[in-house]
Structure 1
Amino acid sequence: MEWKETSRLAMHWHASPSNNKIVCTLCPRNCQTQAGQMGFCKVRGNVMGEFHTFNFGKSVTATQECIETEAVNHYMPGARILSLGNIGCMMACTYCQNWQTSQVKHLDNKNVFEYSPEQVIQMAKANNINVISWTYNDPVVWHEFVLETSRLAKQEGITTLYKSALYIELEPLKELIEVMDIFSVSLKSMDDEVYRKITKGKLQPVLDAIELINESDRHLEISQLVVTGLNDDGVDAYKTAQWMVEKLKPGVPLHLVAYHPSFKYKEPRTQLETLLKLRDIVMNEGIEYCYLGNVYADGVSNTQCKSCNHTLVERFGLSVTVPGINEEGNCNNCGTQTPIKFPLAGKPKIHNIPESFEAKQTYKYDWNSEVKSLHIMLEEVSNENILLCVTRLPGNETRYIELNEGLERIILSKSHAGEGTIEISANSNTKIHYLPVLDRAHFPVIDETIGQNSYAQ
């Protein structure tokens, strides 16, 4: 079935008495549609005088990741999360890394899966995952499904995370604040002209939405993609830092994130040297915690104690350890309270080495300058629980990962500077695809295995 063959009544709309159109009030575009017409996002539209959502429960494959994937460094460091992303978007960024699913005209129906709220909750519980993240394509246009599932998550004690560009009206945002624990907001630029040209949106509604979250007790972190030739000259970083210091609570982290060429924007990748210079600028303006994202280098994303400079949390890419925080949440060197919420809650569960593990298939991948993460994806949902054996070379560090009840995809990434190769074995004959991830928020959909760097036994 094609994804757009079913729909249900949407929230946040009204009929316009002046022109017989429906006005959508979910995002600041306030699209006006005639019967049979879709809004800008192409997943919400007018059905015989009522406004419907066409993407309820329709998602890319649910994926196990870690919380740092979402530019969240001060909440449950290292926690495993269940990431879900919808189809369609209320923006049209020229450098969109997920354009094959965010821009509906490019969407292939084979990349669309359907979940019920109950299935999402059960998948998280079956895989001992305590955080559900709404991410990838922006969750704003997935409002009804996100709300319904997040309410169930709260009943089950599961943490909820909203990763968004936050181009949303304030009334629906208030509904989200009631059910979300964490907001990770992508602030594209402090230049309204950049918003208009690059995202086809406006800046001020995003700032208003961030301020509303800041007034709540929800956890907030800000990220900014540093795009070569667009906002990498320091002006944007300077303005962003000034605005955050003036408008937000002290200590809100800022993530400066490296871009990679994608969709219609083909300038070279952001250089590490550029990010380091911008970090100096924002910290000189009063940002207390600045992290560099999409960068695999030592020391650029660690959390240091503000009192004694002791390393509290050590990060390399998406690999995380918490060497410097005690069970009370204090620096274990000087005793100062740290900014990290639930610092030890994300500590990974240690899987016992199975008594027997028979590898039915094995793949290797050599990390390179472009690819330092992979999505490991089952070709189809398996009725069996699958065990993966992951070995990092050199060094032969090995861990086991379970895929239970409906979970089809996980992310694996380079864990330290000396790691050159990753080897993945599975105790199942279910076909597995290995998809390069070019950006921590990138959701690869190309249905191919890695060519020369993989082999099967």
Structure 2
Amino acid sequence: MTQTTWNQEPHPARLEERLDDDVVRCHLSPRNCRIRPGQHGFCMVRANRDGRLVTLNYGRSVHATEETIETEAVFHYAPGARILSMGNVGCMLNCDYCHNWKTSQARYVEDKDVYHYTPEEVVDIAVRHGIKVISWTYNDPVVWHEFVVETAALAKAAGIVNLYKSAFFISGEAIEELIPVIDIFSVSIKSLDPKYYRKITKGWLEPVLEGTEQVYRAGKHVEVSTLMVTDLSDDEKTAREMATFVGERLDPSIPTHFVRFHPDYKMTDTIRTPVDRLERARKVAMDMGLNHVYLGNVYDTESTNTWCSQCGLLQVTRYGLNADLVGVDADGNCASCGTRAPLKLLPDARRRSKVQELPAGGDLDVASFDWHGDVRALHVQMRNESDAPATAYTRRYGDPAADGSWEIVELKPQESFRYIAAKSTPDELGVQVAIPDRCTSSLHQVFDRAHFPTVEVAAGTLNQDVSPLPLFQPGTRR
């Protein structure tokens, strides 16, 4: 993995149609961009070079990050599993509230935020750290199509599950190339209002719905989510339309998530979604017949938990981005009545190894971060600066009733590794990191599910209701 000038190495692109006069048409998204020589498509990362379609972001990524599967609005597949999140540069949309705008909108990308990975390196990171799921996520994996398809195939051959978290503004032809290698599709449906889609996302609705149906019909694990934007889409109408789509065009058993919004990008003159509106939306959808409706980006509510549909036993408890199986046996059945739980389990996909105490005489530096305001998650980045393997440690602290063990993080020589720590109990105070003196670390606060790039804790202040820096400045561009 090396830092690189991110858009200087074109890579042959798939889904190309060659036209007259060296013009090409890109069939990756419903836009079907017609691109003249030397020009780019809407996404700014697919271009025409000498009459051939190329991609400029092959292997270009934000820092690979270990997270939990709950960050991707996936609640019924391997609850609590650790995942390796991979995000790239560019997007087929330009949503006014995007919290990944500095990477989704290519004109704002800075080289310092971009890394270069090969498919083999991605799979190696997952294997070495015992991670069983790779998630293609953040800005949106659609525009990373070539790298996703090739790397996901390698991962699948290594026994690793692939998760595709996307707004799914993608062509049916491209979806057919994903179906053989992707196991989980988490689709973010921004709204069921066509006018909203055109105005707020700069895309259009029906291809998103058709694509979601396509992967559902293919037998893939599908979950859907909707961002409930304050005073824009956080109403009963959105809940009813979402419930109608899931119930009639998919299946009432498909997990559906109503997700809390935080102000970002071009929409900072507002507030976070009031939780009572989310709770009302959930009730509306369940009253309309959906079986599994959850809230996202919220804490301290039972609306994130899973219960047995037959006897009502609590099966999965969730707090923020953490999940615990409490009422399901090893075979995936209800621990009380034996009914099959609506969950797909993935053995050995959860926790790292732990120790109760730090080793004596280890020359470890310990740093702490306290949760505050709406910041209840943190990216921890560690780098082993030496040519020998190193062992670092991390734990949550402050809640005497919770597990205070130190989790072990093994780093190979010169490895930079990044992971998320999220508040796991109401009484937890924060997170601690212990690293040997030949390693360095930095802490990056995030809201809710992760976003990129992040700002190191020491680099700026935070408005409790607006995303951690950097903030979008209208009229600026690279």
Q: Work out whether the TM-score is over 0.5.
A: yes
Deviations 1:73-103 (A, max 9, x none): 1011111111100001110000000101111
Q: 2:436 aligns with which of 424, 427, 443?
A: 427
Q: Distance in 2 between matches of 1:75 and 1:429?
A: 38
1:121 counterpart residue number:
123
The yes-or-no answer on 1:412 pairing with 2:416 is: no
User: Alignment partner of 1:222: what SS?
Assistant: strand
Contact map agreement 1:83 1:134 (CA 8 A) in 2: yes
Q: Distance in 2 between matches of 1:82 and 1:389?
A: 18
1:442 counterpart residue number:
451
Moved more, 191-200 or 389-398: 389-398
Contact map agreement 1:388 1:427 (CA 8 A) in 2: no
Gaps (5+ residues) in structure 1? none
Deviations 1:362-407 (A, max 9, x none): 2222212220000001367765333123241142823223143445
Contact map agreement 2:378 2:420 (CA 8 A) in 1: yes
User: Alignment partner of 1:220: what SS?
Assistant: strand
Alignment of 1:302-313 (within 5 A): 302-313=305-316
Q: Distance in 2 between matches of 1:389 and 1:357?
A: 17
Contact map agreement 1:71 1:293 (CA 8 A) in 2: yes
1:447 shift after superposition: 4.4
The yes-or-no answer on 1:318 pairing with 2:321 is: yes
User: Alignment partner of 1:433: what SS?
Assistant: strand
1:137 counterpart residue number:
139
1:427 shift after superposition: 2.5
1:279 counterpart residue number:
282
Contact map agreement 1:213 1:220 (CA 8 A) in 2: yes
1:388 counterpart residue number:
393
1:233 shift after superposition: 1.7
Deviations 1:304-341 (A, max 9, x none): 00111111011100121101001121110111110001
Q: Distance in 1 between matches of 2:154 and 2:186?
A: 21
Q: 2:52 aligns with which of 43, 50, 53?
A: 50
The yes-or-no answer on 1:15 pairing with 2:9 is: no
The yes-or-no answer on 1:398 pairing with 2:405 is: yes
Q: Distance in 1 between matches of 2:98 and 2:273?
A: 15
The yes-or-no answer on 1:299 pairing with 2:302 is: yes
Moved more, 127-136 or 443-452: 443-452
Query: Aligned letter for 2:340?
Result: Q
Q: In percent, how many aligned pairs have the same letter?
A: 41
Q: 1:290 aligns with which of 287, 290, 293?
A: 293
1:369 counterpart residue number:
373
Q: Do the aligned partners of residues 428 and 192 (structure 1) sit closer, same or farther apart at CA in structure 2, a change above 3 Å counting? A: farther
Contact map agreement 2:379 2:446 (CA 8 A) in 1: yes
Q: Distance in 1 between matches of 2:459 and 2:394?
A: 18
User: Alignment partner of 2:354: what SS?
Assistant: coil
1:361 shift after superposition: 2.3
Alignment of 1:187-198 (within 5 A): 187-198=189-200
1:342 counterpart residue number:
345
Q: Distance in 2 between matches of 1:452 and 1:44?
A: 36
Q: Do the aligned partners of residues 45 and 112 (structure 1) sit closer, same or farther apart at CA in structure 2, a change above 3 Å counting? A: same
Contact map agreement 1:325 1:343 (CA 8 A) in 2: no
User: Alignment partner of 2:426: what SS?
Assistant: coil
Query: Aligned letter for 1:128?
Result: G
Q: 1:235 aligns with which of 234, 237, 257?
A: 237
Q: Do the aligned partners of residues 170 and 428 (structure 1) sit closer, same or farther apart at CA in structure 2, a change above 3 Å counting? A: farther
Gaps (5+ residues) in structure 2? 463-478
1:21 shift after superposition: 2.0
1:224 counterpart residue number:
226
Query: Aligned letter for 2:366?
Result: T
1:245 counterpart residue number:
247
Query: Aligned letter for 2:398?
Result: L
Q: Do the aligned partners of residues 408 and 344 (structure 1) sit closer, same or farther apart at CA in structure 2, a change above 3 Å counting? A: closer
User: Alignment partner of 2:458: what SS?
Assistant: coil
Contact map agreement 2:102 2:109 (CA 8 A) in 1: yes
User: Alignment partner of 1:411: what SS?
Assistant: strand
Contact map agreement 1:187 1:223 (CA 8 A) in 2: yes
Q: Distance in 2 between matches of 1:380 and 1:394?
A: 30
Contact map agreement 1:86 1:136 (CA 8 A) in 2: yes
Q: Distance in 2 between matches of 1:57 and 1:219?
A: 26
Contact map agreement 1:386 1:428 (CA 8 A) in 2: no
1:197 shift after superposition: 0.6
Query: Aligned letter for 1:221?
Result: E
User: Alignment partner of 2:312: what SS?
Assistant: coil
Deviations 1:125-146 (A, max 9, x none): 1111111110001000000000
The yes-or-no answer on 1:378 pairing with 2:382 is: yes
2:475 counterpart residue number:
none
Contact map agreement 1:222 1:255 (CA 8 A) in 2: yes
- Give TM-score scaled by structure 2 length: 0.90
User: Alignment partner of 1:276: what SS?
Assistant: helix
Contact map agreement 1:65 1:83 (CA 8 A) in 2: yes
Deviations 1:223-262 (A, max 9, x none): 1111112101221111010111001134110011101000
- Give TM-score scaled by structure 1 length: 0.95
Q: 2:216 aligns with which of 211, 214, 232?
A: 214
Query: Aligned letter for 2:284?
Result: I
Contact map agreement 1:76 1:345 (CA 8 A) in 2: no
The yes-or-no answer on 1:332 pairing with 2:335 is: yes
User: Alignment partner of 2:304: what SS?
Assistant: coil
Length, aligned pairs only = 452
